[in-house]
Every structure is written in C-alpha cells, then in structure tokens.
C-alpha cells in the first residue's frame, strides 16, 4: 500500500508547478490552509510577489491561468490582494479518502517522515520512596502522548524515566532499615498499595527519629557516605527501596493505562559513575570553575535576586554531586551512546531554569551541538476548582491514585445512566476507559504550558470538548455499522457530496498533516482539537444526512464508508493520546 498524500499536498504540488512556471526563480511555498470561503486558501503568493517585486494580484492571476482544473481542482480564483481560493472536486475528496481506507496497516495512509531522527523523551519520573501526586500526572500523560505521536510519524523514540533514586535522604531511610530490619517486606511479596504504605510508614518513622535524635542523624550521615562509596550492605538496602517503589509506580501506571518499560527506567543513580568525568571535563574545558570550593558554571544572562548571577552547581564543596551533574551526564549518554538528535524533557515549568542552565552548559561543552535540539516542555500546574493549586480539603497534596479512582467512579455514573445493553462487568470496564480517558483528555486538550482546572464534572460531561463526547461519537458509529449488517461501507467517488459530507471529508483528509504538525510542535492539544472538530463535523453530518435510510443503495454505502473512516480516524487519533475507544457505550 503506497502512502496516501493528502488533498492539500496534491493541490500544493499543482500550485507549486504553476508558480515556478510563472516565476522560475521562486521557491514556491503556497501555504495552503483550510478556509471558510473555499476548500483551501493559498496565501503564499503575497510573499513571493514582494520578493520578486511584482504586483501580487497580477502574479496570482497568472498563476491561476496556468492551473489546469479538472480531476482534482474544480475551481480557483484570486481573492483579496492576492490570495487564491481553491475548490476541489467531490470526486477528489472521495478518491483520496478511499485510498486511506484501503490501507491495511492501520496508518490510514499516513506516510512516515522522510528523514526521521531519534528523540529521547524524558517523562514520567516519580521519586523513590515518595507518593506520586497530581504533579506527576501531567509528565506521564503528556510524555506518553508525545511519544506515541512521534512514533507514528516514524521518529524513533527512546523513553527515559529519570526517577529520583539518589540523594542524602537515603542515608536516613537506609539507616532506619538497618536498625529496624523487616520493616519493608520483600518487593516480590507486596502489591502497589502495600508497597506504598510500607514506604510511607518507613519514611515517616525515619524522619521522626532523624529530627529528634542527634545520634541517629550522625549515623544517617555516615550511611550516606557508605552509600556513595558503594558499600555492599548499604547498596542492597537502597535497592530494596527502589524495587519496592517500582512495584508501586507500576501499579499507578497500570491504572493510568500506560505501558512503562523496565529498561527505560533509568534514574539519577544510573549516571553516578559518569559524574566525576563530567565534572573533570567541564573544569578542563573551562566551562565550569571553582568557586568557594564548589565547581560551578556561571551565566551572564541568567540572574536571580539582587541581580546576582545564578550558578549551576556541578559539584558541591564537600565533593558531592547533585541534580545538575546527573542531568549533564545523562545528556552525554543520550547524545553519544543513544545517538539522540532531539532531547525532550517533559518536566514541570518550575524546573525550566534548571534546564536552561543545563542545556547551555552542555552546549558550551560541545555535548549538545547544532545537530541536536534540546527542549523542556515545561507544563503548567493542575489547579483545583477554586483556581488554586490542587489540594485536598485538608490542604494536602492530592494522591494521584485517589484522583484516578474518583474519576473512574464518576465515569461509572455517566456510563450507567446511558448504558442500554451493557452488563455490570461491561459498565465497570467502560467506566475505567471513560474515567481515565477523561483525565488524560482534559490534560492533553489544553496547551501544555497552561495551567488547567481539575474539574471532574466537566471532564466526564457528555457535552463539550471531552473525551467522553469523542468516545460516544465512536461508539455511535460502531452501532450504525453493526446495524448495517450485510451492507458494507464502500466508497462511491461518482456520487456528488452534500455540504456536511464535504466538510467531514475535507477534515478527515487533514489527519496526517495534523499529526505531523502536532508531533513536530510537541503540541498534543492540536491533535485533541482536531479530533473534537472531527466528532463535531460528524455530528452535523449525522444530523443532516440519513445513513442507513439514504436515498439510494450507493449512497448508503458511501455514507457508511464516511462513518467508518471517521471511526477509524477517531480510534487512531485517540490511541495516540493514550485513550481507549470502546466499541459500545
């Protein structure tokens, strides 16, 4: 199956040849977009005319005279100062959609990128021995969607879950375990919930002794040294904390309906061995300098309070390495060993200064070159209904699991109310798909840089821009297809299309372009907006165009074909966002 070019691509090609026939020196980029006045509008002529110092309307008129209307382009006219309004034929729309429909790979005919790269996606990075909270939600959900979108375009992605599994707090935890053996059950014997409640208990208990007992504090400090020097007993106990935490992480990711691979959980500790070299190289190159015993990188342009330059600390005065050193070492690994061409960090916007400094230091050291892009997709905060950072009524941070459970519970109410021929088991299964989908969609449909309100009532509402609305559209189509029985969806390019059919068809045509754009811009909300519009266009189509009761048998088949392609596109698009589309709702 050959990849299908979208209609806008083929129109663009024709425009391109007409332009270069008119202006041979022009590198044509007619910039086609969907328009209300015609099917497409090209607005690149203005810039070309300006460059060639000719009158834009004249240029547009000449280009139009060179365009052969017929199979694809039905009509083209000059509008305004030099725009082109283009209408395509009904046949071209249906032909094009039929080609996608025939694609058995499930890619809907969307081609792979010609020259894909390797993107390392740093996302879903909770911290060992700590509970996951609502702040960890966005990184996981956005990262997972971006990854699927990039993969779909043909990019190779490598996941890195840079979990917080190192630091001085482990001295306290491990020392407590040494003195209270058996407080952590072996990881193999517990489920996620037990693991977390054990970890919580140990955390609180050790904190208490640490804060009240000076001698314990001293023993904990020595334990940090033992951990850093690789003492076997200490490392084993550390490993136990990590393993136990992973049991818990996995249970939460499973709830989130998200696949996390063990070999991609590469936490801060994985870079320990490389950190001394990172420091040495930075110092040798003069990128980092000694300042009051510490090894730091200064930036003229980055200043904090009192206009003092904020340094990036590579190595503390006591010789210890921290967060920056592990991230710098990780960059070396990702570029040199993993051959990344792009580094993407899905991390809270509050860490953006850290990444700005880390990237700049890595550029100075030559670890990041012009061939490698590095980007921190700093996402905004999840807010409560009151518009303040999301907290429980008691003012505590919200546990991610509680929040997911509540979403599923709410979704169950919605599903139950609408359910016609569903068993109780089916209702529960749908509730999970609807509830988790709602949480993901609410997150992904807002631009990542913006804060959003965690409002369950709105999230599971059947009206409006929600995943349930999309899931219902999908399920409704499946029900029509079931009712169609023996009648198979079949494209009939010879048929004239009505206005809602054309609008739906042209929007379907834009699927591939939208995914590529959304992936390239790291903008899942653009894909979400596309899907919402698809469902809306489908609804208008369905309201105005009877499907099973259409006038003629070919029209029934053609409308079923539009229904089925809409369903497949919804399914594929939602899958890229990590959201399920149940067959029945």
Chain residues that interact with ligand ARG, rule: CB under 6 A: 122, 125, 127, 162, 164, 327, 345, 347
User: Closest approach of Cβ 296 to ligand ARG, in Å?
Assistant: 18
Q: Does residue 7 contact residue 96 with C-beta atoms inside 8 Å?
A: yes
Nearer to ligand ARG, 122 or 443 (CB): 122
The Cα 272–Cα 281 span in angstroms is 15
Instruction: State which residue, 161 or 219, has the beta carbon closest to ligand ARG.
Output: 161
Q: Which residues contact 461 (CB under 8 A, 6 or more apart)?
A: 468, 469
Residue in 233, 238, 231 with CA at minimum distance from that of residue 167: 238
Q: Are 471 and 434 in contact (CB under 8 A)?
A: yes
Q: Which residues of 357-383 are buried (b: 16+ CB within 10 A; e: fewer)?
A: bbbbbbbbbebbeeebebebbbbbbbb
> In terms of CB distance, is 162 or 246 closer to ligand ARG?
162
Considering the complex, state which of residue 345 and residue 441 has its C-beta at the smaller distance from ligand ARG: 345
* Helix ranges, 336-391 (H): 352-364
At its nearest, how many Å lie between ligand ARG and the CB of residue 124? 9
Q: Taken in order 570, 407, 124, 134, is the CA torsion positive or negative?
A: positive
Find where tokens 């499907």 sit. Answer: 547
Taking the complex as a whole, the smallest distance from the CB of residue 195 to ligand ARG amounts, in Å, to 18
Question: Is 382 in contact with 452 (CB distance < 8 Å)?
Answer: yes
* CA 449/CA 521 separation, integer angstroms: 13
Measured from the CB of residue 278, what is the shortest distance to ligand ARG in angstroms?
A: 14
CB of 147 to ligand ARG, least distance (A): 15
DSSP assignments along 222-270, one per residue: HHHHHHHTT-HHHHHHHHHHHHHHHHHHHHHHHHTT----GGG---GGG
Nearer Cβ to ligand ARG (15/325): 325
Q: Is 465 left (phi over 0), alpha (psi -120 to 50) or beta?
A: beta
Minimal distance in Å, beta carbon 358 to ligand ARG?
8
Q: How far is the CB of 127 from ligand ARG (least distance, A)?
A: 5
DSSP state of 370: T
Q: Nearest approach, Cβ of 74 to ligand ARG (angstroms)?
A: 52
Q: Which is nearer to ligand ARG, 143 or 582 (CB)?
A: 143
Nearer to ligand ARG, 165 or 465 (CB): 165
Contact 527, 149 (CB under 8 A): yes
Query: What CA–CA distance (Å, rounded) separates 101 from 144?
Result: 27
Please identify, using beta-carbon distances, which residue of 42 and 358 lies nearer to ligand ARG.
Answer: 358
User: Closest approach of Cβ 56 to ligand ARG, in Å?
Assistant: 49
The residue (of 8 and 269) whose beta carbon lies closer to ligand ARG is 269
* The Cα angle at residue 136 between residues 130 and 137, in degrees rounded to 5: 135
Report in angstroms how near the CB of residue 493 gets to ligand ARG at its nearest. 51
With respect to ligand ARG, which residue has the nearer C-beta, 127 or 498? 127
Residues 12 and 412: their CA atoms lie apart, in Å, by 47
């Amino acid at each position: 199956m050959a990849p299908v070019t979208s209609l806008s691509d083929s129109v663009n090609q024709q425009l391109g040849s007409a332009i270069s026939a008119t202006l041979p020196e022009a590198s044509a980029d007619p910039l086609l977009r969907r328009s209300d006045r015609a099917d497409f509008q090209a607005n690149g002529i203005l810039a070309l005319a300006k460059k060639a110092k000719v009158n834009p309307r004249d240029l547009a008129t000449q280009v139009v005279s060179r365009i052969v209307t017929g199979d694809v382009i039905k009509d083209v006219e000059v509008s305004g100062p030099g725009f082109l309004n283009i209408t395509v034929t009904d046949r071209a729309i249906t032909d094009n959609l039929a080609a996608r429909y025939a694609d058995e790979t499930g890619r809907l005919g969307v081609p792979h990128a010609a020259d894909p790269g390797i993107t390392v996606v740093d996302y879903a990075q909770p911290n060992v021995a700590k509970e996951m909270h609502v702040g960890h939600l966005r990184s996981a959900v956005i990262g997972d969607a971006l990854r699927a979108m990039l993969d779909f375009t043909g990019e190779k992605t490598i996941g890195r879950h840079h979990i917080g599994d190192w630091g001085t707090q482990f001295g306290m935890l491990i020392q407590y375990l040494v003195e209270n053996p058996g407080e952590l059950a072996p990881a193999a014997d517990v489920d996620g919930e037990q693991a977390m409640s054990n970890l919580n208990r140990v955390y609180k208990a050790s904190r208490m002794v640490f804060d009240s007992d000076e001698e314990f504090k001293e023993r904990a400090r020595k334990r940090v040294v033992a951990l850093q020097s690789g003492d076997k007993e200490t490392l084993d106990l550390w490993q136990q904390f990590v393993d136990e935490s992973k049991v818990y992480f996995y249970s939460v990711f499973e709830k989130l309906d998200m696949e996390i691979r063990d070999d991609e959980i590469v936490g801060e500790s994985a870079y320990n061995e490389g950190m001394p070299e990172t420091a040495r190289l930075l110092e040798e190159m003069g990128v980092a300098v000694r300042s009051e015993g510490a090894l730091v990188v200064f930036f003229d342009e980055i200043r904090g309070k009192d206009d003092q330059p904020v340094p990036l600390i590579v190595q503390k005065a006591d010789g210890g390495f921290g967060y920056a050193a592990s991230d710098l070492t990780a960059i070396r690994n990702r570029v040199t060993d993993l051959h990344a061409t792009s580094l993407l960090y899905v991390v809270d916007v509050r860490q953006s200064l850290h990444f700005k400094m880390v990237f700049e230091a890595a550029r100075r050291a030559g670890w990041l070159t012009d061939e490698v892009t590095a980007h921190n997709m700093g996402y905004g905060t999840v807010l409560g209904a009151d518009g303040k950072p999301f907290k429980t009524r008691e003012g505590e941070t919200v546990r991610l699991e509680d929040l997911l459970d509540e979403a599923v519970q709410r979704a169950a109410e919605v599903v139950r109310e609408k359910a016609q021929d569903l068993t109780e088991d089916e209702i529960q299964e749908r509730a999970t798909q609807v509830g988790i989908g709602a949480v993901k969609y609410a997150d992904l449909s807002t631009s990542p840089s913006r804060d959003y309100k965690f409002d369950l009532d709105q999230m599971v509402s059947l009206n409006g821009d929600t995943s349930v609305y999309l899931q219902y559209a999908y399920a409704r189509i499946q029900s029509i297809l079931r009712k169609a029985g023996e009648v198979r969806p079949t494209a009939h390019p010879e048929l004239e299309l009505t206005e809602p059919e054309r609008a739906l068809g042209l929007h379907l045509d834009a699927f591939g372009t939208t995914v590529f754009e959304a992936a390239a811009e790291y903008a899942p909300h653009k894909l979400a907006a596309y899907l919402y519009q698809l469902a809306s266009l489908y609804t208008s189509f369905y309201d105005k165009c009877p499907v099973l009761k259409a006038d003629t048998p070919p029209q029934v088949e053609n409308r079923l074909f539009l229904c089925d392609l809409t369903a497949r596109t919804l399914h594929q698009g939602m899958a890229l966002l990590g959201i399920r589309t149940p067959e029945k709702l």
